[in-house]
Amino acid sequence: MSDDRSHLNRRKFLQYAGIGLAGGSLMSLLAACAPTAAPAPATSAPAAAPTSAVAAKPTAQAAPTSSGAPTSQAAATAAPSTAGGKPITVVQAADVPNLDPSRNLVVHVYNVADNVLDTPTYLDRNLKIQPRLATSWKAVDDATWEVKFRTDAKFHDGTPFDTSAVKSSFDYQTDSAAGSRTFFTNWASLDVVDASTVRVKTKAPEPYFPNTLSRLWIFSPADLKDPTVFGRKMTGTGPFKLTEFTQGQQITVNANPTYCGGAPKINGVVYRAAPEASARTAMLQAGQADVVVNLPVEQAKQVESSDQLRLGAVTGLRGVPLMIDTRSGPPLSDVRVRQAMNYAVDKDAIIKNILGGYAQQQPATISPLIEGHNPDIQPYAYDPEKAKQLLSDAGYANGFDMEFHHPTGRWMKDAEAAQAIAQMLGKVGIKANLLTAEYSTFFNTWSKGDYKGMSMIGVTQPDGTAVSLFNLFLHSKGAWPFSWTDAQMDTLIEKARSTLDQTARITAFHQLEQYIHDNAPFLFTWEQKDLYGINKNLKWEPSSNEFMHFWDATF
Amino acid sequence: MFSYLIGRLISAAVTLLVVSVVVFVVARLTGDPVRLMLPIEASNDEVARVRHDLGLDQPLPVQYVTFVTHALRGDLGSSLRYQQPALSIILGRLPATAILAATAMAIALVVAIPAGIISAARPGGLADGTARTVSLLGQALPAYWLGIMLIIVFAVWLRWLPAAGASSPSSVVLPAITLGLWPTARISRVLRASLLEALHGEYVRTARAKGLSESRVVLQHALRNALLPAVTVVGLSFGVVFGGAIITETVFAWPGVGRLLLDAVSQRDFPLVQAIVLTFSVLFLLINLGVDLLYGALDPRVRLS
């Protein structure tokens, strides 16, 4: 039989190699025709794409996301500038499986529900409490609040709103299957006084009662008779009516012209989902979207430099402290060691070089936007010499080994920052073994308390109060197995969270924050900014707690 | 023939049973959906309560038996997040994946068959070299990277096509190209190899001796025999394409079952994951059976028994 394989001689080999290289590099070259600005990550950690199952080659990935070329191309065709007639298209990072925010406690569901349903109060862009369906609230005594509601609100199906809807919504949101039950653990009861008044009895004094009110969604009693309806539709009293819910594709809401707070100025909102961050940004650049959420750092820079788009970089509430596990005793249970770890890491350098400047240091726990933040606390300076000194005082002049757990692709540059932190700790003798996992696996193991050493965890406060952070980690009766056991800490926390007088409460929080800073239960890091890509023609700003309210948006 | 079918169906049922056990156990080993569903502040009591409500605190064998008995009645469980029957969610999204897979396979066939024929007709030539290199790249390039490249070039720069989503008929083009590249490569390589083999047959020599034109020899005589192995590969590629759709659908935000699966896995939505894996398994088994039957029908030398 004759040989049907071609002879692989030198000429043919060069031919194939040439074709292969040309073809394979053509696409990369096209995309990378501008000089790369962002440094490629040091290891093969996948670029910020939380749901990707395949790790991309780092060099190929770094090139397209930092190119300046796409934006100059985009300038050639104008972004779709729209008068009030066209709805806003919003692209979120995940699909909405079900519209019910009391069972689906995720921000992409909230962002639909919060425009269709009302709550008694809400947090404005500066995280100040504003009235919404409620008109006023007052503390009748230390454990009772009285709330008065509007009388002119109507559900989208025409039914008038009254406080019986508040009661049925409260019952629904606190029943045994509702995840939202957790928000109301301090409420003993909610009773209707008359058609526009309710009374809430709390178990312990609750100074942040108005903030808790912002979590109470007001559902339509008709919907609550059959909650399976939330897989298809939702009726509320809100500024927008739900008109379409095609799972996996889009959700459409249209302006409610008779909204009691004044009709929205835009026609409506179309919500879509694109889990892949590059695809989201591409939709924005191609004019397919007006707002996209969760831009990765490299793409944020691209959007910033575009003429058609603008970057909404809001000071967010999401911090990523590194919790230090003191259960196993020294070295980590020694405060000098923990302080040394704080001195060893140059957080400003990480923020500037890895996070693109889109974060600010958090030397304690409370965000500057939230009441109780102590502006006098200075972050631990970058001082490796002091770190070594403290370690040696504690008896660890030769350092020690430690586990360092972090997820990958969950928070802004989490894996890259962890690597940088580990490197810096290494320079003072602390050998941090990096251990990573995909977020669900990470969170599962972490929440059982199985991680020793140090763990990166993301925390946020969408209701604008600092209180639950402490309930979680720092109080000895906290929800987590890591809980800090320190009687002084417990006293400070209990005092701060139950003082009804505002001035005294703020002072109590300041003391608590200082105590936390000094005792360093965490390696303090930063709070990342929330990065939104926005069509320049859209007059709208995101809020700091990741909620998106569209009733005051205009083109 | 009949006994062959019965045998195949029995082995398919056994396969499905094994698949169901594996996906059931593995999913539960990897994590806890309840912690992910509740706010971070939820106490361990809260978590335990919700876990009990969902029936997830029962021993695994009990949960499995419940699952199987319901499945036999057509009830594949209810998604933990959608709170709807898993099967109806899947059936709602299956058309989108089917359209994408069919378009990808159509592109693959339209490109791969001529490419395979030309390669085999002139082995070693420039066309052959190009086709084989592109094939190699097609099987090696990750869909994730290729998809994003296509989006940047065709959607952002040239604005010829939408970047993502399924909002217009032209939305299927880029994902179908991304998804279709692997089967194109595979089919063209297999066709080339089998056509080269066929062209060495005695009957081809005879046809040429009879004075038939080369194109008639290749297309009418050799190709028919060469297509047989290709049919098998095409059928199996369909199955692979359904699986590969997971990444392509995620990159392009295509509203199909692949993206649904990835989302369900990351949220540990066990009932949905199980239902999707079982549905895919049934599809693969049906496709394999169909391919074998087709092969038996096309090739008189093969007797299925």
| Token couple for A406 | 């972090």
For chain B, give the mean pLDDT. Answer: 88
Distance of residue A282 Cα from the nearest chain B Cα, in angstroms: 6
Instruction: Determine, for residues B142 and A30 on separate chains, whether the beta-carbon distance falls below 8 Å.
Output: no
Among B146, B157, B253, beta carbon nearest to A70:
B157
CA angle A407, A411, A417 (to 5 degrees): 75
Q: What pLDDT digit, counting tens, does each position of A354-396 carry?
A: 999 999 999 999 999 999 999 999 999 999 999 999 999 999 9
Burial of A376 (0-12, 13-18, 19+ CB in 10 A): exposed
Report d(CA B79, CA B271) in Å as an integer.
Answer: 5
Q: What pLDDT digit, counting tens, does each position of B200-227 carry?
A: 888 888 888 888 888 888 787 888 888 8
Is there a contact between A280 and A289 (Cβ–Cβ < 8 Å)? yes
Q: How far apart are the first and last CA of chain A?
A: 74
Q: Indicate whether A292 pLDDT > 90.
A: yes
For residue A275, the chain B residues in CB contact (below 8 A) are 250, 253, 259, 262-263
DSSP annotation of A106 reads S
Contacts (Cβ under 8 Å, ≥6 apart) of B125: none
Report d(CA B37, CA B269) in Å as an integer.
Answer: 10
Per-residue pLDDT at A25 = 65
DSSP annotation of A499 reads -
Instruction: Determine, for residues A12 and B124 on separate chains, whether the beta-carbon distance falls below 8 Å.
Output: yes
Per-residue pLDDT at A8 = 54
For residue B39, the chain A residues in CB contact (below 8 A) are 105, 179-180, 182-183
Burial of B224 (0-12, 13-18, 19+ CB in 10 A): exposed
Strand-strand pairing, A268-273 and A88-92: parallel
Is there a contact between A165 and A214 (Cβ–Cβ < 8 Å)? no
Q: How far apart are the first and last CA of chain B?
A: 6
Helix (H) or strand (E) holding A531: strand A526-535
Instruction: Determine, for residues A282 and B151 on separate chains, whether the beta-carbon distance falls below 8 Å.
Output: yes
Closest CA to A215 of A192, A244, A245, A185: A185
Amino acid occupying residue A362:
Q
Nearest residue of B to residue A96 by CA position?
B82
For residue B153, the chain A residues in CB contact (below 8 A) are 27, 30-31
Closest CA to A370 of A506, A493, A466: A466
For residue A19, the chain B residues in CB contact (below 8 A) are 129-130, 133
CA angle A357, A359, A365 (to 5 degrees): 155
From the CB of residue A433, how many other CB atoms can be counted at a distance below 10 Å? Answer: 11
Bridge partners of residue A136, in order along the sequence: A148
| Token couple for B269 | 């939505």
CA angle B222, B228, B229 (to 5 degrees): 110
Per-residue pLDDT at B167 = 85
> Among A173, A308, A440, A441, which would you mutate to test the B interface (most chain B Cβ atoms within 10 Å of its Cβ)?
A440
| Token couple for B237 | 């590629």
For residue B122, the chain A residues in CB contact (below 8 A) are none
Task: Using the structure block, give the residue that is written with the tokens 């965490």.
Answer: A522
| Beta strand segments in A195-292, E | 197-202, 240-246, 250-255, 268-273, 291-292
Kindly provide the b/e burial profile for residues B99-127, where b requires at least 16 CB atoms within 10 angstroms of the residue's own CB. Answer: bbbebbbebbbebbbebbbbbbbebeeee
Report d(CA A56, CA B142) in Å as an integer.
Answer: 8
From the CB of residue A291, how many other CB atoms can be counted at a distance below 10 Å? Answer: 23
Q: What pLDDT digit, counting tens, does each position of A103-125 carry?
A: 888 899 999 999 999 999 999 98
Q: Indicate whether B281 pLDDT > 50.
A: yes
Instruction: Determine, for residues B163 and A283 on separate chains, whether the beta-carbon distance falls below 8 Å.
Output: yes
SS3 A50: coil
> Among B36, B130, B148, B254, which would you mutate to test the A interface (most chain A Cβ atoms within 10 Å of its Cβ)?
B148
For residue A52, the chain B residues in CB contact (below 8 A) are 144, 247, 250
Alpha helices in B163-269 (DSSP H): 173-199, 202-209, 214-216, 223-251, 257-266
Distance of residue B250 Cα from the nearest chain A Cα, in angstroms: 6
For residue B50, the chain A residues in CB contact (below 8 A) are 176-177, 179
Instruction: Determine, for residues A57 and B145 on separate chains, whether the beta-carbon distance falls below 8 Å.
Output: yes
Instruction: Determine, for residues B50 and A283 on separate chains, whether the beta-carbon distance falls below 8 Å.
Output: no
Among B128, B137, B255, beta carbon nearest to A249:
B255
Closest CA to A550 of A208, A252, A147, A192: A252
* Overall average pLDDT of the A31-49 stretch: 37
Report d(CA B187, CA B206) in Å as an integer.
Answer: 28
Is there a contact between A150 and A196 (Cβ–Cβ < 8 Å)? yes
Q: Indicate whether B125 pLDDT > 90.
A: no
Per-residue pLDDT at A395 = 94
Q: Indicate whether A398 pLDDT > 70.
A: yes
Closest CA to B104 of B259, B296, B234, B265: B234
From the CB of residue A167, how many other CB atoms can be counted at a distance below 10 Å? Answer: 15
Q: What pLDDT digit, counting tens, does each position of B146-199 carry?
A: 999 999 999 999 999 999 988 889 999 999 999 999 999 999 999 999 998 888
Report d(CA A459, CA A472) in Å as an integer.
Answer: 10
Q: Indicate whether A14 pLDDT > 90.
A: no
Report d(CA A47, CA A295) in Å as an integer.
Answer: 12
* Overall average pLDDT of the A41-68 stretch: 35
Strand-strand pairing, A454-456 and A526-535: unpaired
Q: What pLDDT digit, counting tens, does each position of B9-46 carry?
A: 898 889 999 998 998 888 888 778 888 888 777 777 88
Instruction: Determine, for residues B93 and A182 on separate chains, whether the beta-carbon distance falls below 8 Å.
Output: no
Is there a contact between A280 and A532 (Cβ–Cβ < 8 Å)? no
Is there a contact between A112 and A99 (Cβ–Cβ < 8 Å)? yes
Report d(CA A454, CA A461) in Å as an integer.
Answer: 22
| Token couple for A142 | 């230390």
* Domain limits, chain A: 3-67+119-219, 317-529
Distance of residue B177 Cα from the nearest chain A Cα, in angstroms: 15
Report d(CA B96, CA B274) in Å as an integer.
Answer: 20
Helix (H) or strand (E) holding A312: strand A309-319
CATH (one of 3.90.76.10, 3.50.50.60, 3.40.50.10490, 3.30.565.10) for A3-67+119-219:
3.90.76.10
Q: What pLDDT digit, counting tens, does each position of B86-117 carry?
A: 999 999 999 999 999 999 999 999 999 999 88
Instruction: Compute the count of residue pairs across chains A and B with CB atoms less than 8 Å apart.
Output: 217
Instruction: Determine, for residues A182 and B123 on separate chains, whether the beta-carbon distance falls below 8 Å.
Output: no
Per-residue pLDDT at B57 = 86
Report d(CA B34, CA B49) in Å as an integer.
Answer: 10
Instruction: Identify the residue with better confidence: A79 or A483.
Output: A483
Q: What pLDDT digit, counting tens, does each position of B230-272 carry?
A: 888 888 888 889 888 999 999 999 999 999 999 999 888 989 9
Q: Indicate whether B287 pLDDT > 90.
A: no
Report d(CA B168, CA B154) in Å as an integer.
Answer: 15
| Token couple for A112 | 């639909």
Q: Indicate whether A458 pLDDT > 60.
A: yes
Nearest residue of A to residue B50 by CA position?
A177
Is there a contact between B23 and B277 (Cβ–Cβ < 8 Å)? yes
Q: How far is CA A490 from CA A218, A474, A494, A512, in A?
A: 35, 8, 6, 10
* Overall average pLDDT of the A126-151 stretch: 93
Share of chain A above pLDDT 90, in %: 61
For residue B246, the chain A residues in CB contact (below 8 A) are 53
Among B37, B157, B263, beta carbon nearest to A94:
B263
Q: How confident is the model at residue A212 (pLDDT cuts 50, 70, 90)?
A: very high
Our separate counts of H helices and E strands in chain A read 17, 19
Contacts (Cβ under 8 Å, ≥6 apart) of B202: none
| CATH top class, domain A317-529 | alpha beta
- Chain centroid to Cα B288, Å, comes to 12
